[in-house]
């Protein structure tokens, strides 16, 4: 908590307006949609390449905010009764404020950096040390130039330990984060390929990351990485004896503070033995992968460094839980949507989950099912008063509290009018009474500490569907959007294509994320798709690209905007509009510049302009065309011809209008390859979903979806035996095969059979064997050890891109993605 005067001094700001009140600031807000306590919030108007926070000051004021940090004096809105503080750079000021706030605390602060494992180690340290220390930590993976100061601002008097992670992508960034975190203990996880493009080599990247520890007292790292060890030794020498750095090292190959002597994996668990101060010690963890083993050893080192007893380490390590990096959104029973954010239990993660719940506009009714919060150091009365306040401020109709503490403080919730609140002392009691409650057509947030076993609730509320699941990473979608936005000049708008079930990814869920992310337009193929989005609460303008004349009246009723591409569609729509007495209705004119699919021809333009001028029922929202080969460098001359035709045809129309419609020509590939053709708006399609058809965005786009299925049966097949339909495939030798739960009815092409494709099982390639069946197929696992029934097979995803499947099938990625059957369950992942 700090006064606005104190904040002014911390960032050396100047008053633009001062209302003479000096409120205490408890919240630093950068997004008007996620402000928790407006009266006590400081809205920081950050300016990024994609968005200017100054444009949202009025929205913040409307939400109740009266304190602002800005980096421009004018033009800014006149906001009554407000304190407006000017600084040259609001991001730098945000970091200065957080750094000054951090300096008020004298507790152990662990700073974590490295290429991989930062978030997992941070979360595991919270699990392992939570009973010894009231710990504050970075929410999720808040490790950026913005995320770090927001994380540090959480520090309060009741905290006895802080754990913050820091990530960088280019030189100079860690110098800004180090004063904010001011770690007393450092942890360097490892060095890898992530963000290498911003550095000359790994040595430069290591040295930049080590700047986080230039004033730290202690540093934990693994000396098995020779380059990392060399860089640490050089840093220690440069600090000298006046500012010595104590290192706590571990190694599996040579002497270290913690010398790992054995790692033995059995049945998914790993036993780790080590020598520490001349004694043999050990831990056991419920994981077997190399990354988890490395992360657990780092946590072990920190525990030993802090003086936590080896007995506690031995007892707690086997209880480590898999870190859920993102919330999961799944289909529920009775047309519900389930948001699963279990195993995270603190006020910060609750706020993030409530923000995500509030974005779910497809349901007017919202329910929260929540367990006790295990956050030591805060009096229960204050803690649950804060929770009740958070809940009451949201669009939440029902709150179900589970746990003795929530049951004890239930009156704090019941006093809020309009909120139905129900309480149970345990998960078991709730499960016994769940049949008395009705769940239907609502969004349900599951928010529970791991000891409350909310996965049992999830099993009852989630819809029972096919064993094949497609996961969609909404965070990756947003980052792909930002990649394309970064290529655009200021003011160029974005239209996102969500036709064909959003390329198989789920129309509403994708549209909702895009609306929240601030795209300007959506596009669908057919009227029914647009109506479904409107019914689900999507408010953005929606263009319908293949409108049926018989549905024009429905389009007008649902405020959908048609593409008009010939005189027949033009006449049909204007006739319907006139009948309904509609004027200046937005429409989009499609021009044929060489694709020869849909569009007005060059010879049509003179007559078209006459009809536009004579018709008051329509308003031309945009004029556009489609490039036939924007992804092919060999066809750039043809793309230039199309652009020239577009300029001539659109200019002829513009000359006869008293206003200027938007012009757009570029699809995803053209955005990257033809930057002079962006005009007023661009259309984002397959690129949003992580497919780089331009071949110019290497490493920048992320495939947002992964298709996984389960192993139904494992069997041995003797040489000479038949496999599959038709008696066409005979085992050439003794084989071990797995039958997996995906077939051509799920969208896995029949052409993939007989070894033309493979899936990944336990990280290894398992080629198809025999023909692809309707619901299943067989794969060869002879060379893959440890394959068990009920295990997982990756059809596409990490290590197996959808473009590879398209190549095997002799088709394009569009066909593979849109062909995934809707009987395949979609699970949406979102980082809070």
Lowest-confidence region among 479-488, 656-665, 692-701: 692-701
3-state secondary structure 193-248: CCCHHHCCCHHHHHHHHHHHHCCCCEEEEECCCHHHHHHHHHHHHHHCCCCCCEEE
How much is the average pLDDT of 628-652? 96
pLDDT at 828: 84
Chain-centroid distance, C-alpha 81: 37
Q: Is the pLDDT of residue 360 over 90?
A: no
Indicate the pLDDT class of residue 325, thresholds 50, 70 and 90: low
CA 789, 790, 795: angle at the middle one, nearest 5? 100
pLDDT at 113: 97
pLDDT at 500: 63
Crossing angle, helix 507-517 and helix 527-535, to 10 degrees? 70
Q: Hey, what are 406's tokens?
A: 């929530």
Lowest-confidence region among 218-227, 465-474, 588-597: 465-474
Per the CB < 8 A criterion, the answer to whether 737 and 787 are in contact is: no
**Residue-wise burial string across 580-601, b where 16 or more C-beta atoms lie within 10 A, e elsewhere:** eeeeebbbbbbbbbbeeebbbe
* Residues near 240 by beta carbon (within 8 Å), at least 6 away in sequence: none
Indicate the pLDDT class of residue 378, thresholds 50, 70 and 90: confident
Q: Is the pLDDT of residue 241 over 80?
A: no
How much is the average pLDDT of 325-329? 76
Q: Hey, what are 789's tokens?
A: 């029934």
Only one residue has tokens 């006139």, namely 578
pLDDT digits (tens, 9 = 90+) for 82-92: 999 999 999 99
Q: Hey, what are 350's tokens?
A: 């609750």
pLDDT digits (tens, 9 = 90+) for 771-820: 999 999 999 999 999 899 988 999 999 889 999 999 999 998 888 988 99
Indicate the pLDDT class of residue 504, thresholds 50, 70 and 90: low
pLDDT digits (tens, 9 = 90+) for 572-615: 999 999 999 999 999 999 999 999 999 999 999 999 999 999 99
Q: Write the DSSP assignment of 556-595 as a string of letters.
A: HHTT-EEEE-SHHHHHHHHHHHHHTT--SEEEEEEB-SS-
Paired with 708 in beta bridges are 469, 794
Lowest-confidence region among 267-271, 344-348, 370-374: 344-348
Q: Write the DSSP assignment of 336-355 as a string of letters.
A: -EEEE-TT--SHHHHHHHHH
Q: Is the pLDDT of residue 31 over 80?
A: yes
pLDDT at 342: 74
How much is the average pLDDT of 690-715? 90
How much is the average pLDDT of 663-686? 95
Q: Is the pLDDT of residue 343 over 70?
A: no
Chain-centroid distance, C-alpha 87: 31
Which of 188-197, 372-381, 580-589 is modeled with the greatest confidence?
580-589
> Helix or strand or coil: residue 662?
strand
pLDDT at 245: 92
pLDDT at 501: 61
Torsions phi, psi of 693, nearest 5?
-75, -15
Q: Hey, what are 650's tokens?
A: 């659109």
**What is the percent of the chain where pLDDT is above 70?**
97
Give the span between the Cα atoms of 568 and 584, in whole angstroms: 19
Per the CB < 8 A criterion, the answer to whether 283 and 300 are in contact is: yes
> Helix or strand or coil: residue 461?
helix
Q: What is the C-alpha radius of gyration for the chain, rounded to an integer number of angstroms?
A: 29
Known catalytic residue at 521: no
Closest C-alpha to 551, from 522, 536, 567, 531? 531
State the CB neighbour count (10 A cutoff) for residue 173: 19
Q: Hey, what are 536's tokens?
A: 């689900």
Q: Strand locations in 114-208, DSSP E?
A: 135-137, 161-165, 185-188
State the CB neighbour count (10 A cutoff) for residue 702: 14
Q: Considering Cα of 322, then 327, then 329, then 334, what sign does the dihedral take?
A: positive
Known catalytic residue at 725: yes
> Helix or strand or coil: residue 497?
strand
Per the CB < 8 A criterion, the answer to whether 66 and 81 are in contact is: yes
Q: Hey, what are 395's tokens?
A: 């669009």
Q: Hey, what are 67's tokens?
A: 């304190």
Per the CB < 8 A criterion, the answer to whether 212 and 231 are in contact is: no
pLDDT at 464: 64
* Residues near 522 by beta carbon (within 8 Å), at least 6 away in sequence: 495, 496, 497, 498, 511, 514, 515, 533, 538, 540, 541, 542, 543
Q: Which helix (H) or strand (E) holds 90?
A: helix 90-102
**Residue 752 burial by CB count (10 A; 0-12/13-18/19+): exposed, middle or buried?**
buried
Mean per-residue pLDDT of the chain:
92
pLDDT digits (tens, 9 = 90+) for 145-185: 999 999 999 999 999 999 999 999 899 999 999 999 999 99
Indicate the pLDDT class of residue 694, thresholds 50, 70 and 90: confident
Paired with 711 in beta bridges are 740
Per the CB < 8 A criterion, the answer to whether 683 and 495 are in contact is: yes
pLDDT at 798: 86
Lowest-confidence region among 673-682, 690-699, 740-749: 690-699
Lowest-confidence region among 38-42, 88-92, 192-196, 715-719: 192-196
The answer to whether the peptide bond before residue 201 is cis (omega within 30 degrees of 0) is: no
Closest C-alpha to 96, from 138, 134, 152? 152
pLDDT at 136: 93
pLDDT digits (tens, 9 = 90+) for 297-312: 999 999 999 999 999 9
**Annotated catalytic residue: which of 415, 433, 539, 725?**
725
Only one residue has tokens 């149970």, namely 424
pLDDT digits (tens, 9 = 90+) for 447-456: 988 789 898 8
Per the CB < 8 A criterion, the answer to whether 57 and 68 are in contact is: yes
Indicate the pLDDT class of residue 560, thresholds 50, 70 and 90: very high
Closest C-alpha to 46, from 55, 36, 34, 38? 55
Closest C-alpha to 801, from 667, 644, 689? 689
Per the CB < 8 A criterion, the answer to whether 247 and 221 are in contact is: yes
**Annotated catalytic residue: which of 118, 122, 209, 499?**
499
3-state secondary structure 677-728: HCCCEEEECHHHHCCCCCCCCCCCCCCCEEEEEEEEEEEEECCCCECCHHHC
Crossing angle, helix 90-102 and helix 173-181, to 10 degrees? 30
pLDDT at 344: 64
């Amino acid at each position: 908590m700090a006064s606005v005067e104190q904040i002014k001094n911390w960032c050396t700001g100047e008053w633009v307006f001062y209302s003479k009140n000096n409120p205490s600031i408890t919240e630093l807000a950068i997004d008007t949609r996620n402000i928790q306590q407006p009266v006590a919030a400081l809205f920081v108007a950050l300016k990024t390449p994609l968005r200017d926070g100054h444009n949202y000051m009025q929205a913040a004021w409307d939400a109740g905010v009266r304190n602002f940090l800005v980096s421009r004096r004018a033009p800014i809105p006149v906001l009554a009764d407000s304190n407006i503080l000017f600084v040259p750079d609001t991001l730098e000021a945000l970091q200065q404020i957080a750094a000054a706030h951090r300096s008020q605390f004298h507790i152990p602060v662990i700073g974590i950096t490295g290429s991989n494992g930062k978030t997992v180690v941070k979360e595991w340290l919270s699990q392992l040390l939570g009973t010894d220390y009231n710990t504050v930590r970075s929410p999720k993976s808040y490790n950026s130039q913005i995320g770090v100061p927001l994380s540090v601002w959480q520090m309060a008097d009741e905290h006895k330990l802080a754990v913050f992670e820091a990530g960088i992508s280019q030189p100079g960034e860690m110098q800004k984060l180090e004063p904010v975190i001011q770690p007393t203990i450092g942890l360097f996880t490892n060095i890898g390929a992530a963000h290498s493009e911003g550095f000359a080599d790994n040595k430069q990247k290591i040295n930049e990351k080590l700047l986080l520890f230039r004033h730290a007292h202690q540093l934990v790292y693994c000396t098995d990485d020779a380059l990392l060890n060399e860089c640490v030794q050089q840093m220690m020498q440069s600090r000298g004896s006046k500012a010595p750095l104590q290192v706590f090292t571990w190694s599996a190959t040579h002497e270290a503070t913690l010398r790992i002597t054995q790692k033995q994996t059995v049945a998914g668990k790993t036993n780790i033995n080590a020598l520490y101060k001349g004694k043999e010690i050990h831990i056991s963890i419920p994981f077997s992968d190399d990354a988890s083993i490395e992360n657990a050893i780092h946590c072990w080192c920190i525990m030993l460094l802090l003086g936590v007893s080896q007995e506690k380490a031995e007892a707690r390590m086997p209880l480590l839980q898999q870190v859920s990096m993102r919330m999961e959104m799944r289909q529920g029973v009775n047309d519900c949507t389930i948001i699963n954010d279990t195993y995270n239990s603190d006020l910060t993660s609750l706020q993030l989950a409530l923000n995500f719940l509030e974005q779910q506009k497809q349901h007017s009714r919202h329910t929260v099912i929540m367990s006790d919060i295990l956050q030591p150091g805060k009096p229960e009365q204050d803690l649950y008063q804060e929770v009740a306040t958070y809940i009451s401020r949201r669009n939440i109709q029902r709150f179900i509290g589970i746990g003795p503490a929530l049951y004890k403080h239930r009156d704090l919730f019941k006093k809020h009018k309009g909120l139905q609140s129900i309480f149970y002392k345990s998960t078991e009691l709730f499960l016994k009474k769940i049949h008395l409650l009705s769940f239907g057509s609502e969004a349900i947030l599951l928010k529970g500490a791991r000891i409350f076993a909310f996965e049992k609730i999830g099993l009852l509320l989630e819809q029972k569907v096919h064993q094949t699941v497609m996961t969609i990473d909404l965070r990756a979608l947003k980052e792909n959007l930002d990649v394309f936005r970064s290529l655009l000049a200021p003011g160029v708008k974005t239209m996102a294509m969500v036709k064909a079930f959003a390329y198989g990814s789920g129309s509403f869920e994708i549209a909702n994320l895009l609306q929240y992310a601030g795209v300007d337009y959506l596009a669908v193929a057919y009227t029914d798709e647009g109506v479904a989005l409107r019914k689900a609460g999507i408010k953005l303008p929606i263009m319908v690209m293949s409108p049926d004349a018989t549905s024009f009246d429905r389009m007008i009723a649902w405020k959908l905007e048609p593409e008009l591409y010939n005189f027949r569609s033009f006449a049909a729509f204007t006739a319907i509009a006139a009948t309904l007495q509609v004027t200046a209705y937005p429409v989009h004119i499609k021009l044929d510049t060489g694709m020869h699919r849909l569009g007005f021809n060059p010879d049509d333009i003179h007559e078209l302009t006459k009809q536009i001028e004579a018709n008051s029922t329509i308003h031309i929202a945009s004029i556009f065309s489609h490039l036939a080969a924007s992804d092919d460098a060999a066809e750039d001359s043809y793309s230039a011809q199309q652009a020239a035709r577009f300029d001539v045809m659109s200019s002829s129309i513009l000359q006869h209008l008293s206003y200027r419609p938007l012009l757009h020509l570029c699809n995803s590939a053209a955005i990257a390859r033809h930057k002079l053709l962006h005009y007023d708006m661009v259309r984002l399609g397959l690129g949003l979903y992580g497919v780089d058809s331009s071949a110019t965005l290497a490493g920048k786009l992320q495939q947002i979806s992964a298709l996984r299925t389960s192993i139904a049966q494992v069997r041995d097949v003797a040489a000479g035996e038949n496999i599959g339909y038709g008696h066409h495939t005979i085992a050439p030798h003794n084989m071990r095969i797995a039958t997996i739960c995906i077939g051509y009815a799920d969208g896995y092409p029949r052409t993939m059979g007989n070894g033309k494709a493979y899936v990944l099982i336990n990280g290894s390639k398992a080629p198809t064997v025999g023909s692809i069946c309707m619901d299943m197929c067989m794969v060869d696992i002879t060379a893959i050890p440890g394959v068990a029934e009920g295990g997982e097979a990756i059809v596409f995803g990490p290590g197996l891109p959808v473009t590879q499947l398209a190549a095997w099938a002799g088709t394009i990625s569009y066909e593979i993605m849109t062909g995934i059957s809707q009987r395949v369950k979609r699970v949406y992942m979102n980082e809070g």
